[in-house]
Chains A and B, each alone.
Chain A
Amino acid sequence: MVAQIVFIIILLGAVYLFGKNVAKVRRNILLGRDTDRSDRPAERWAIMTKVALGQTKMVKRPIAAVMHFFIYVGFVIINLEVLEIMIDGIFGSHRIFSKPLGSLYGLLIGGFEVLALLVLVSCVVFLARRNILKLKRFSGTEMTAWPKSDANYILTIEILLMTAFLTMNAADYKLQLLHFGHYATAGSFPISGFIAPLLPSGPGALAGIERGCWWFHIIGILAFLNYLPYSKHFHILLAFPNVYYSNLKPKGEFTDMASVTNEVKAMLDPSFVPEPAEVSRFGVKDVTDLTWKNLMEAYTCTECGRCTSVCPANITGKLLSPRKIMMDTRDRLVEVGNNIDKHGKDYTDDKTLLDNYITREELWACTTCNACTEACPVNINPLEIITEMRRYVVMEESQAPASLNNMFGNMENNGAPWKYSQADRLNWAASDKVD
């Protein structure tokens, strides 16, 4: 009875805390400007099913794809087991699904065990890739102490949770063989059967291990749940809405700016009266100038570095790293959110995403080639943030690099980015031009 009450208190506390943190993330995301992504719902469901659920963009790197798939499927399916643990915890039952499910139960538990082992092995390999093989993709200027630790924490927690799950089953299995207490024969233990011989044989010790692992496993899962909003691992939840709200237009198409259209129309036609629009700055200086979708993407990024590893600027040693653009955006957004919590809604510190986080040198290194957006397994678009920030630098500050200002000047004066006369545009067709 005491155990049940303790369990219920922990469960409610964990769910409450998680809800509170998710609400804060949601509030932060909605600090962004509005953008309409409610169109073409059928296409959106289809792309979410394919890219988020089906993980089709992961396959470009097959080794990571297969192991990531093990962890993904393992975690989703083992959640069925967590459901049983919850019910057992609340009602004080033991393996409540075993009777109604009959022989199917054995199959399920056996299946969970195989998956748990695959998850465990994959996590060990992933840890090795990061810490022993030191894959280049997991390093870079933005991969400072915290992002590296975050990744290691996630993998270690998953290993511990799977170990607890298998050890719990092993102890349970041994207790079942001893016909001890309420440990009725249930389940099949294809993996934990191998751990069982390593455990003590006394029923008291076994029951202690079984209960210990049970509590460790469930409290671990609840603690992990509450770690998510602070971690890159939040992608396991946000990947789905993030892909649903993907940009469905061709990648080459950049956003139009209605505010500019009004001004240009007024310039070309003095009789044009623009509709009143909200006054905001051109382009992006700080995170609140971005759209909610840009901000959702920042929280969705799991820092895998596929974008950076294919970025032509980064490959050739430039400062730009698309992953850093996303990580900076998230860090700044969290900072802005914390400021609101501490000092109220109207507080402004003297920092901005531009300059305090992302430098101009990074922005001007981009070739807008879309390799980053193509590479992202969850359709994040760092390029949009880069071009929006260029817009701020160019249109609000007139601080484009001098050579680009020359190009703008040429285009204004003679309709070409180079200094050639408009009148010479057809010279290529002259009769003396023979190839």
Chain B
Amino acid sequence: MEQKIPTMAEMAAEGNEPEILFWVGCAGSFDERAQKITRNICKILHHVGISYAVLGTEESCTGDPAKRAGNEFLFQMQAMVNIEVLNGYNIKKIVTGCPHCFNTIRNEYPGLGGTYEVIHHTQLIQGLIDEGKLKAEGGESFKGRKITFHDPCYLGRGNNVYEAPRAALEILDTELVEMKRCKSNGLCCGAGGAQMFKEPEKGNKDINDERMLDVIETGASVIASGCPFCMTMLTDGVKHMEKEQEIKVLDIAEITVRANGL
């Protein structure tokens, strides 16, 4: 990547404190597709000149999948170690690239001694649009393309964030079409609750295939989302339906970067 990504350790060594910590998350760190989204979030932060840093090798899983799977021990071990690191760096504000990290740090860390202002990257983007720092100009045009937004469960129902990701799409010169199951009625991609890490139980179809029916019904050529797990599930769904030529799955951060030519 062109820009140098600042880490907390380096910043602290220089005696600096960033305005915001970018919590990358495991998918954002290791999953090849999600890594692209991570880099795009950094491009946005860099573009608007926010002082930020990442934890890098000091970051560890928030413990979300362990908690959803019922392993509260492991969750709390992860949480307490992370909280120690975050508090050690005197972190006040966090932006995450993943709704699961967002939910866990925002809602489940305070009870264990970690209280921060936590936002999801779509909320960061919405804020920057509202402040006039981000527009949709100088980049790829989405004109004439139908876009639909898939609500990640832990962003939407889990935390009532429905408008932020849509705000990032509404500034595009494009048509935002809603699926019949959207917002609080949104259908899960099938990855939550630690399902990402196991085979689904026996059934008659996969949940992401069911979701593709909603997508295809809208006639959208872009599915936007804001979650690395949804990204995997939706991308697989598009493949199963053999719609790779017609339908692209993009994160809100990627769409923002493309629209602004960053």
Chain A contacts to B: CB under 8 angstroms: 60, 249-254, 256-257, 260-261, 263-265, 267-268, 282-283, 310, 312-313, 315-320, 361, 364-371, 373-374, 387, 389-395, 400-401, 403-404, 406-408, 411-412, 415-418, 420, 422-431, 433-435
Closest chain A CB from B190 CB (angstroms): 6
Partner of B185, one of A60, A403, A404: A60
Partner of B193, one of A310, A366, A391: A366
Name the segment of B54-62, B134-142, B168-176 touching the other chain.
B54-62
CB pair B67 A254 closer than 8 Å: yes
Partner of A411, one of B54, B56, B66, B158: B66
The 6 closest A-B pairs by CB, nearest first: A252-B158, A390-B70, A317-B204, A368-B193, A415-B60, A253-B107
> Which residues of chain B have C-beta atoms less than 8 A from A430's C-beta?
1
CB pair B28 A317 closer than 8 Å: no
Chain B contacts to A: CB under 8 angstroms: 1-2, 5, 7, 24, 26, 28-30, 35-36, 38-40, 42, 54, 56-57, 59-61, 63, 65-74, 76-78, 80-81, 103, 106-108, 111-112, 153-154, 157-160, 184-188, 190-207, 209-210
CB pair A424 B30 closer than 8 Å: yes
A417-B61, A428-B38 known; A318-B76 Cβ under 8 A:
no
Given contacts A318-B201, A367-B193, A395-B72, 7 further A-B contacts (CB under 8 A): A316-B205, A317-B205, A367-B153, A403-B199, A408-B69, A415-B60, A429-B56
Partner of A263, one of B65, B70, B73: B73
Cα A420 to Cα B25 in complex, Å, equals: 13
> Which residues of chain A have C-beta atoms less than 8 A from B71's C-beta?
391, 394-395, 400, 408
Closest chain A CB from B52 CB (angstroms): 13
Partner of A312, one of B29, B107, B207: B207
Closest chain A CB from B161 CB (angstroms): 10
Count of A-B contacts judged by CB separation below 8 Å: 227
Cα A36 to Cα B220 in complex, Å, equals: 47
CB pair A404 B184 closer than 8 Å: no
CB pair B158 A370 closer than 8 Å: yes
Cα A366 to Cα B153 in complex, Å, equals: 13
Task: Name 23 A/B residue pairs within 8 A (Cβ), A-sorted.
Answer: A60-B185, A249-B107, A250-B158, A251-B157, A253-B158, A257-B76, A310-B185, A312-B187, A312-B207, A313-B201, A316-B206, A316-B207, A366-B193, A367-B192, A411-B74, A417-B61, A427-B29, A429-B42, A430-B1, A431-B1, A433-B39, A434-B1, A434-B2
Cα A170 to Cα B66 in complex, Å, equals: 66
CB pair B29 A428 closer than 8 Å: yes
Closest chain B CB from A312 CB (angstroms): 4
Cα A251 to Cα B206 in complex, Å, equals: 24
Cα A153 to Cα B59 in complex, Å, equals: 59
CB pair B72 A364 closer than 8 Å: no
> Which residues of chain B have C-beta atoms less than 8 A from A434's C-beta?
1-2
